[in-house]
Amino acid sequence: MAQPLTNRGTMSVLRRPTGRRGLAAATTAAVLLATGIAALAPAAPALADPVSDRQAQYTAAATEFGVPESILLGVSYLESRWLDHAGDPSTGAGFGPMHLTDATAVAAEDGTHHDEGTEDPRGDDSRPAPELAPMPDAPTEASLQTLDTAAALTGVDETTLRTDPAQNIRGGAALLAEHQRALNVDSDAPADWYGAVARYSGASDIGTAARFADDVFATIRTGASESTDGGEVNLSADPGLQPSAEQLEALGLRATKDGTRTDCPRSLGCEWIPAPYEQYGPAVGQYGNHDKADRPTDLDIQYIVIHDIEGYYHTAIDMVQDPTYVSWQYTMRSTDGHTAQHVKPEDVAWQAGNWYINSHSIGIEHEGFAANGAWYTETLYRTSARLVGYLADRYDIPLDRAHIIGHDNVPGISPAKIPGMHWDPGPYWDWSHYFDLLGAPFHSFGGKHSGMVTINPDFQSNRPAMIGCDSKQPALPCPDRPSSTVFLYSEPSFDAPLLYDVGMRPNGSRATRQVSDHGSRVSTGQRYAVADRQGDWLAIWYLGQKGWMFNPADNPVATPTIGLVVTPKHGRVNVLTHGRALPEEAAYEGTGATYQPLTPLPYVLNVGERYSLGDFSPQTEYYWAKTLEGPNIVVNGDTRYYQIQLGHRIMYVKADDVYVVPSFLGAP
């Protein structure tokens, strides 16, 4: 299990709101050309004897290139956790255990996130949606193109470096050795490799390079052990290791921009790249790209929304600095975990496609793609978990999947908005590992007949068949990849059809195995009420249906838990569900804000159905923010809602329509 990156323990699932509610100075390739080292590369590939055992591959590469083995292992762990991923690229265009980057070889999919589809990221149908410009082209950054240099150093062709783990490890060792040579440091002591490790990160600023190197050396001090696709790999602990951090000064990196203005843990090395708040056209609503507020004083912060960019880091930076575009609070880079902040947590970013969620959440964009390039680096997971743990502690946000949500868990605000809602970070985000890092792992509670379960498949072995990862050939199967997704069937059989999602498919057709279609699937950490059991098959209540999953005792995908569920009150049929928790009409009187009618979603609760309660009493509010100068008004209502896990997305029901009962009462 991963070491948690926060000392904050797991909070209660339920709570009441407490308030009112590139390499910088020179790229490695440039260094090589300037010194003539590239010309010394062998004319033909100097392939080492094949070694299948991953541990031995590290030992051999470390010996060959004169890199301390603990350094090579520590760097690789922070990139890939020593996994090869079968030649599949990461979300940061990296390949293999050493994450050698090759953006030119990764044909980024056409934008499927910010610049296509029908979702209005602001998610408020009382004002026009922003007109989004096309997504900028992917940049050619030095940090996204290290594989070329590794090829020059080793004489191994680029295809082999991308697909052969032993050669990939050799390429990473050669890069580290070259970084050490460029620093003119001749030492076998791991402590004297701090500068080379910082350079390997690809970071262009001091704060990020230092944080990456510090994490590598912290990993070496504590040690690590993983079962990988190449066998067991171990890094022995070296608790007394103290690196020569002063080497950082010799790298010629730029200072981290305005890091004192950011809302981040000090160790993260965040920089401040503000999103513009300005009028860009003559019309009243033509301003961008977020709204001013005073959270959590005026609006409670209840959620943190995990996104992926559907592009590279600098693509997002270009977008968020455009006043005509949309916004989010933070952007994180996959290659080195670099973090930029754009909007203060007290302000409302336009990021999740649902104005109620936007008003009560913080959005974090992660470099990468939900389908094309489908594994995230360990350094990205770790820096993201640090930031989320910090924000959750600061704003009293529970560390559970009802409050730390993906963009794919955000509900549409009306039936017409449901089909266009986004589905990132997608089925390849490792929620289990992420919550381990948060110090809030998904534990099992209760017995085998518990009335509630937590979805928790083994990420590496759970590899559901999906299609459509290549947008140019949507009928092709996706690569065989680890996943946090579990499919649901209409009967306890793999031959049975999938379920219906009447919001996604009003025509009555069933859900599919398309990678973007979550109409009949669940995700790690989500909790559902048990509906039925038959042998190794388990059914949960899902969008008004029994959704069956294969759940054998020797390899479960769902584990018992306890909690509270909601069920319709006696005599209530077709209980309405909503994508927002909005005030009643009378609450708007005298506020200066216009009444916002609440449109029910096409999903209903019927007698006997039970759904996991995610939040006992979300604040009933509407934030009226329509002009640059204001006034911005918070309308508070008396109507109470419960947040429930109805399908893949969270939704809301009125408290007057349902009972809240312990999950074990009436369990099948």
In angstroms, rounded to a whole number, what is the distance separating the alpha carbons of residues 113 and 90? Answer: 18
> pLDDT tens, 270-283?
999 999 999 999 99
Last residue of a domain, one of 251, 266, 289: 251
Within-domain flag for 450: no
| Strand ranges (E), 318-408 | 330-332, 339-341, 348-349, 361-366, 404-406
The count of domains in the chain is: 2
- Name beta bridge partners: 506: none
Residue 49 scores a pLDDT above 90: no
Within-domain flag for 444: no
Last residue of a domain, one of 223, 251, 279: 251
Q: Considering only residues 556 and 3, tell me which one the structure prediction assigns the higher pLDDT.
A: 556
- What is the reported pLDDT for 129? 65
Within-domain flag for 580: yes
Residue 289 dihedral angles phi and psi, to the nearest 5°? -115, 30
- What is the reported pLDDT for 106? 77
- Give Cβ neighbours of residue 443 (< 8 Å, ≥ 6 apart): 561
pTM: 0.91
Q: Name the pLDDT band for 141 (thresholds 50, 70, 90).
A: low
Within-domain flag for 48: yes
Residue 218 scores a pLDDT above 60: yes
Neighbours of 21 (CB within 10 A): 20
Within-domain flag for 636: yes
Within-domain flag for 196: yes
- Name beta bridge partners: 485: 523
| 372 contacts 103 by C-beta, under 8 angstroms | no
| 89 contacts 377 by C-beta, under 8 angstroms | no
Q: Considering only residues 7 and 279, tell me which one the structure prediction assigns the higher pLDDT.
A: 279
- Record the tokens describing residue 379, joined without a space: 């350094």
When pLDDT is averaged across residues 496-518 and rounded to a whole number, the result is: 96
In angstroms, rounded to a whole number, what is the distance separating the alpha carbons of residues 116 and 120? Answer: 10
Within-domain flag for 422: no
Please, what sign has the CA dihedral across residues 147, 437, 85, 89? negative
- Report the percentage of the chain scoring pLDDT > 90: 78
| Strand ranges (E), 229-370 | 231-235, 271-272, 278-279, 287-288, 290-291, 303-308, 330-332, 339-341, 348-349, 361-366
Q: What is the mean pLDDT of the chain?
A: 89
Q: Name the pLDDT band for 44 (thresholds 50, 70, 90).
A: very low
DSSP calls for 298-325: SS---EEEEEE-SB-HHHHHHHHT-TTS
Q: Name the pLDDT band for 52 (thresholds 50, 70, 90).
A: confident
Specify the pairing of strand 100-101 against strand 452-455: unpaired
In angstroms, rounded to a whole number, what is the distance separating the alpha carbons of residues 201 and 291? Answer: 35
In angstroms, rounded to a whole number, what is the distance separating the alpha carbons of residues 29 and 155? Answer: 14
- What is the reported pLDDT for 665? 82
Specify the pairing of strand 604-605 against strand 231-235: unpaired
> pLDDT tens, 9-21?
333 333 333 333 3
| 3 contacts 222 by C-beta, under 8 angstroms | yes
Last residue of a domain, one of 251, 283, 315: 251
When pLDDT is averaged across residues 485-503 and rounded to a whole number, the result is: 98
Residue 35 scores a pLDDT above 50: no
> pLDDT tens, 88-137?
999 888 999 999 999 888 754 444 444 445 678 888 877 666 665 555 44
- Give Cβ neighbours of residue 604 (< 8 Å, ≥ 6 apart): 544, 574, 575, 576, 577
536, burial (CB in 10 Å: exposed 0-12, middle 13-18, buried 19+): middle
Residue 558 scores a pLDDT above 90: yes
Within-domain flag for 183: yes
Which CATH number covers residue 215? Answer: 1.10.530
> pLDDT tens, 589-622?
999 999 999 999 999 999 999 999 999 877 799 9
For residue 136, is it left (φ>0), alpha (ψ between -120 and 50) or beta?
Answer: beta
Range of the domain at 593: 568-662
In angstroms, rounded to a whole number, what is the distance separating the alpha carbons of residues 279 and 281? Answer: 6
| 479 contacts 469 by C-beta, under 8 angstroms | yes
